């Protein structure tokens, strides 16, 4: 399927008391990266700021749909399908450097002045590595449940589940199995997630993402470790978000990481697991709203 159900998104939004305005849904847009790979992104109307959102591994731009709805009066949200994910093109190999370069290409394509950048998990690693090249163009930077020191073992069950998935007859079949791994997830939310992640193939529904070879986790973990050295170089306001229930990063580590930035702060989102943007979009929107407002005020005051 090209996109998940709008009716299901409306129901999820209403359950969370997020305004759902059909005229405010995103436009699918495309661009070519500097190496020719075609990249897809969702352009959510809003303003006055611009927020670029980078998803985690094995997810897609649609993971931010509820968050973008919650922020529609605060920011134009640009949610990217990282190469190898969603509807974007594939390569034989992937690297954090190449993903970061894609984000720089995207910002050139958008022609925006200052932007706010937020990344979840893998997306946070990419955002951190892109940030150093953005300089004054970067208004704020947000890391969602990720930092230099993560508990990689805590994601082993979900990684094993994703790696073992074969074509399924119905999306509901995979949702049922996923809920056995993450029983605290709202079933409708899980259904929406997998509607976004799967496409119809000859043998049933299969991943949209490139699953031809294992993810290079040692490379990603090495790049995460480098964020410690990058942090003091980032002058803009920085938000480090931790999901309260997530075991990927401890609260102590989140606070330590935030403290490395000249203008860093840490927020723990109650009731959220690793996928903070799906579990608690309203609370995450509030934290981002404060960060974006701080960045705007800093810009207005001439830094």
Predicted pLDDT of residue 97: 98
Predicted confidence (pLDDT) at residue 303 exceeds the cutoff of 60: no
Predicted confidence (pLDDT) at residue 285 exceeds the cutoff of 90: yes
At residue 302 the predicted structure's pLDDT band, cuts being 50, 70 and 90, is low
Integer Cα distance of 166 and 213 in angstroms: 14
Predicted pLDDT of residue 6: 95
Torsion of CA 47, 282, 197, 24, to 10 degrees: -30
Predicted pLDDT of residue 300: 67
**Residue-wise DSSP of the chain:** --S--HHHHHHHHHHTT----GGGPPEEEEEE-TTS-EEEEEEE---SEEEEEEPPTT--GGGGHHHHHHTTTTEEEEEE--TTSTTS---SS--HHHHHHHHHHHHHHHT-SSEEEEEETHHHHHHHHHHHHHGGGEEEEEEES--SS--GGGGHHHHHHHHH---BSSHHHHHHHHHHHSTTS-HHHHHHHHHHHEEEETTEEEESS--SS---HHHHHHHHHTHHHHGGG--S-EEEEEETT-SSS-HHHHHHHHHTSTTEEEEEETT--S-HHHH-HHHHHHHHHHHHHHHHHHHHTT-
Q: In what order do the strands lie in the sheet with 264-269?
A: 27-32, 38-44, 75-80, 49-54, 115-120, 138-144, 238-243, 264-269
Per-residue pLDDT of 258-267, as tens digits, reads: 999 999 999 9
Q: 């102590």: which residue's tokens?
A: 252
Q: Percentage of the chain with pLDDT > 70?
A: 98
Predicted pLDDT of residue 297: 84
Integer Cα distance of 76 and 280 in angstroms: 20
What value does the mean pLDDT of the chain take? 95
Mean pLDDT computed over 18-38? 95
Per-residue pLDDT of 27-36, as tens digits, reads: 999 999 999 9
Predicted pLDDT of residue 7: 96
Integer Cα distance of 187 and 11 in angstroms: 12
Which residues lie closer than 8 Å to 153 by C-beta, 6 or more apart?
A: none
Least confident of 64-78, 109-123, 173-187: 173-187
């Amino acid at each position: 399927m090209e996109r998940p159900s709008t009716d299901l998104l409306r129901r999820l939004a209403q359950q969370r008391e997020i305004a759902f305005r059909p005229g405010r849904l995103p436009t699918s847009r495309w661009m070519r990266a500097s190496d020719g790979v075609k990249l897809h992104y969702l352009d959510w109307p809003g303003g006055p700021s611009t927020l670029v959102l980078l998803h985690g591994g094995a997810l897609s731009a649609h993971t931010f749909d509820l968050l973008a709805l919650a922020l529609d009066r605060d920011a134009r949200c640009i949610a990217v399908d990282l190469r190898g994910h969603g509807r974007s093109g594939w390569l034989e190999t992937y690297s954090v450097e190449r993903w970061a370069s894609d984000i720089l290409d995207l910002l050139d394509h958008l022609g925006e002045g200052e932007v706010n950048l937020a990344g979840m998990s893998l997306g946070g690693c990419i955002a951190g590595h892109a940030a150093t090249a953005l300089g004054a163009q970067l208004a704020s930077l947000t890391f969602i449940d990720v930092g230099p020191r993560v508990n990689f073992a805590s994601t082993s069950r979900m990684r094993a589940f994703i790696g073992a998935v074969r074509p399924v007859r119905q999306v509901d079949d995979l949702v049922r199995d996923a809920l056995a791994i993450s029983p605290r997830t709202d079933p409708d939310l899980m259904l929406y997630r997998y509607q976004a992640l799967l496409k119809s193939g000859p043998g049933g529904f299969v991943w949209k993402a490139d699953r031809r070879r294992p993810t290079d986790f040692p490379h990603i973990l090495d790049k995460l470790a480098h964020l410690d050295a990058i942090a003091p170089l980032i002058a803009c306001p920085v938000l480090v978000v931790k999901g309260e229930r997530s075991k990927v990063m401890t609260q102590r580590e989140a606070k330590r990481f935030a403290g490395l930035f000249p203008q860093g702060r840490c927020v723990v989102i109650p009731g959220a697991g690793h996928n903070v943007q799906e579990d608690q979009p309203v609370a995450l929107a509030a934290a981002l709203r404060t960060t974006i407002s701080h960045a705007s005020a800093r810009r207005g005051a001439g830094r």
